[in-house]
Amino acid sequence: MAEQDWALEPGWLLSPAGRPYLDSILHKNQRRVFGLLERPALPPALAVPTVTYKLFLAGRSGVGKTALVAWLRGTPVPPAHHETLGIEATPLFWPAKPRASGRPVLFQLHLWDCGDGALRKFEHLLPACKEEADAALFLFSFTDRASFEELPALMGRVLGPGDCDIVRMVVGTKFDLAPHAAVTEADVRAFEGTWGLRVLRAGGTPGAGGARAGLARVAPVLDALVEGLWRRDQVTAGITPGDTGDTPT
């Protein structure tokens, strides 16, 4: 799906119209880190509805799940890999504007990261991660071809026939390490054509999404994530004609 067909306006938050809402998620030109009970402060005249989504990250050990959460949130990316021992839930806020409305929406994303080893060892963790989840993010690393080739098996292992209401999304990490890439653009295009899923590309540069200037790197990924979920809700409500239900292109 082309961006002109999106239900949300891509890039709106970084436009002049989105500036007051962008300021609400920044502190001294850096991304503000919100606790579980905190939210951006907006003046009454700019108050907007909040829509909350739960996203579960799945991928083999070392693929960059924890680093992706940090990159999207604007906090420093861990310098070295460490296995997540259980479940870590991280909130972030992302304002966006529906095309059909003059009123923006404040999206609250809860990113659930669970270590692959723990997920395999403790069978109760996967149901907990999937419970009331709105989306499953399947990760691979552009520097690890095996993680890419395992995507079909990973999707089949995580989501079953009864999980049709969970939006499937695919994210390729370490895209900025091009000299070390083991997955080509041709590989990605072939996967997208076979599975009907767009592959989102994420970097791993420390703190890239933390400063105001670095938001341009993470904004396309966050815009695509909320677009896929918002469109699902619009289709379910009968407001937008149904399509494949996958992440927009």
Residue 85: its pLDDT value, please? 62
Residue 233: its pLDDT value, please? 93
Average pLDDT, the chain: 86
Residue 249: its pLDDT value, please? 44
Residue 122: its pLDDT value, please? 72
Best-predicted range by mean pLDDT (83-92, 184-193, 212-221):
184-193
pLDDT mean over 21-26: 94
3-class secondary structure per residue, the chain = CCHHHCCECCCHHHCHHHHHHHHHCEECCEECCCCCCCCCCCCHHHCCCEEEEEEEEECCCCCCHHHHHHHHHCCCCCCCCCCCCCEEEEEEEEEECECCCCCCEEEEEEEEEECHHHHHHCCCHHHHHHCCCCEEEEEEECCCHHHHHCHHHHHHHHCCHHHCCCEEEEEEECCCCHHHCCCCHHHHHHHHHHHCCCEEECCCCCCCCCECCCHHHHHHHHHHHHHHHHHHHHHHCCCCCCCCCCCCC
Residue 214's pLDDT band (boundaries 50, 70, 90)? Answer: confident
